[in-house]
Each structure stands twice: as C-alpha cells, then as structure tokens.
C-alpha cells in the first residue's frame, strides 16, 4: 500500500504511517462539525505530493471558497496547481454538464450517469503523475434530498467507493439527515473518519479504520480557529437553505 505523509501535526498523530492510496475515504459526522476542513488537509497534502485532483464541493456556492480555505488553512495556492486540478460545480438547471470557465465544469450531479461522465471528462482535462487522481467531494448528503434520484445516488456512490480502485476517493458527508443511508457509504469505504464539535467551536477528529496502515485510536483536537469554523458553518447553512428546497422538488 502506498502512502503520503502529511505536514499537519494533528493529522500525523492520527495517521503516523501516512494516508493510504489508492483508497476510498468517508469523513462522517453531524452537520456543522468541520468535515470539509479536515478533508482539505488531505487535499492539500495530495497536491503538494504531486497528485491530480478533481473537486466536487457541493456545499460551496462557487470555487473561490475552496481556494480561499486552502490558502488560509493550509498555505496552498490552488492556482499553482491549475494544470493538475479540475472542479465540478453542481447545477440543477442543466440536463447534463457544461464547461463553465477554465478548469471548472457545471453538472447536474443528481443523475448518476452524469456524475460518472463528468468525472471522466474532468479527468481527461488534467495532467496526471504517478499518484493518479483524487476525487474529493463534500456535503454529498445534499444529493439525497431528491426523492427521484436518492436511491440511485446511494447505489452509485456506494458502488464507486467500494469497487473503483483506479482513483482515490475522499468524501465528507453529514449524518444529520439520512444517517441510515449514509451508513451504507461508511461501510463501503476503505477508510472511515469522524468529526464532532464541542462548544465553544472546538473541532475533534478520530479514525475508525484505515486500509492496511496503522492509525491512532485517539480523538484529536484539530487546531482550526473558531473564526474559520464559523465561516464554513455559515457557508454550509446558506447552501443548505438554497439547495435543499430545490432538491426536494426533483
């Protein structure tokens, strides 16, 4: 099993032998517990190590939030990695997918066949090295609010993270709704991590399992400022209020 080592001391404590790849990872926990910020620590290390990246950050209204968070928290300028990076933005108003600008695609990710097509399209747009491609996605639970596509989405993501070893998958999901369905993804993933929040705005992270590498069973206090945690929480709440009513009509 290949691994990458992280720069972050708190993540080193959790994963002293490194993060395994290719593999699939679910970061799970209640809404508002900082899951994407933990996820971005692994994304930053992946890019610095030479990996290619496709981002599907559903809780962000545009890609600027990803760029800002990576810069503020992990001192990485996404523009420096533009040749090896593509982003996919959720757009429920189109039937399939369209080019937005540069390395950004817009796609109706509710439809599993479109999810699969646009991932392959994005993968064809980027330069790839020996590490291959990581697909990182956040707030994937938002897709489950569609009564029409919910079951199809669950099956598609479950199949991908369980069976596709051609890429590395890193997904964060909220268990505040559909916890029983999300448990299917948790069971299917190679790696499983959890986050929780304590007042006043303290983020904790733990590892439940990791593929073929040792890990700490200790719960770690993640040193991210309350201001950063509050900012991501506000963005996530605004996105939920905007997207969920639209999803429930489809």
pLDDT at 231 over 90: no
Whether 38 contacts 15, CB under 8 Å: no
Q: How far is residue 158's CA from residue 183's CA, in Å, rounded to a whole number?
A: 10
Are 126 and 86 spatial neighbours (Cβ–Cβ below 8 Å)? yes
Contact 78, 48 (CB under 8 A): no
Contacting residues for 249 by C-beta, under 8 A, at least 6 apart = none
Percent of the chain whose predicted confidence (pLDDT) is above 70: 99
Interhelix angle 226-248/64-74, rounded to 10 degrees, is: 160
Q: What is the pTM of this model?
A: 0.93
Residue 49 has pLDDT above 90, yes or no: yes
Model confidence at 55, pLDDT cuts 50, 70, 90, reads: very high
pLDDT grade for 222, boundaries at 50, 70 and 90: very high
Q: What is the pLDDT of residue 33?
A: 83
3-state secondary structure of 104: strand
**Is the Cβ–Cβ distance between 203 and 34 less than 8 Å?**
yes
CATH 3.40.50.300 is the classification of domain 2-188+204-248: yes
**Strand ranges, E, within 13-149:** 19-21, 24-29, 52-57, 85-90, 97-101, 104-107, 133-138
Instruction: Specify the 3-state DSSP secondary structure of 231.
Output: helix
Residue 61 has pLDDT above 70, yes or no: no
pLDDT band at residue 69 using 50, 70 and 90 as cut-offs:
confident
Q: How high is the mean pLDDT of the chain?
A: 91
**Per-residue pLDDT tens over the stretch 91-135:** 999 999 998 677 899 999 999 999 999 999 999 999 998 999 999
Q: What are phi and psi of 3, to 5 degrees?
A: -140, 160
Torsion angle of C-alpha atoms 104, 56, 97, 132, degrees rounded to 10: 80
Quick one: 41 exposed, middle or buried, by C-beta within 10 A (0-12, 13-18, 19+)? buried
Mean pLDDT of 235-250: 83
The secondary structure of residue 109, as a DSSP letter, is: T
What is residue 66's predicted lDDT score, i.e. its pLDDT?
Answer: 84
pLDDT at 64 over 90: no
Backbone angles phi and psi of 134, in degrees to 5: -100, 135
Find the range with the poorest average confidence among 27-31, 131-135, 148-152, 233-237.
233-237
Report the C-alpha gap between 21 and 18 in whole angstroms: 10
């Amino acid at each position: 099993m290949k691994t990458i080592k992280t720069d972050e001391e708190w993540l080193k404590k959790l994963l002293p032998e490194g993060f395994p790849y290719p593999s699939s990872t679910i970061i799970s926990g209640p809404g508002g517990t900082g899951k994407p910020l933990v996820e971005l620590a692994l994304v930053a290390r992946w890019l610095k190590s030479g990996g290619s990246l496709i981002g599907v950050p559903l809780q962000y209204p545009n890609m600027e939030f990803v760029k800002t968070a990576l810069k503020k928290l992990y001192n990485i300028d996404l523009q420096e990695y533009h040749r090896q990076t593509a982003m996919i933005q959720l757009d429920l108003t189109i039937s399939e997918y369209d080019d937005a600008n540069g390395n950004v695609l817009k796609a109706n990710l509710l439809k599993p066949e479109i999810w699969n097509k646009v991932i392959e399209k994005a993968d064809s747009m980027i330069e790839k090295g020996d590490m291959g491609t990581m697909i990182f996605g956040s707030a994937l639970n938002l897709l489950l609010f569609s009564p029409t596509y919910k079951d199809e989405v669950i099956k598609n993501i479950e199949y991908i993270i369980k069976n596709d070893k051609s890429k590395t998958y890193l997904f964060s999901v909220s268990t505040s709704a559909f916890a029983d369905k999300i448990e299917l993804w948790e069971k299917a993933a190679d790696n499983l991590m959890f986050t929780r929040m304590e007042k006043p705005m303290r983020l904790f992270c733990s590892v439940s399992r990791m593929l073929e590498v040792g890990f700490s069973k200790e719960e770690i206090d993640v040193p991210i400022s309350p201001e950063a945690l509050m900012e991501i929480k506000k963005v996530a709440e605004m996105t939920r209020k905007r997207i969920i009513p639209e999803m429930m009509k489809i």
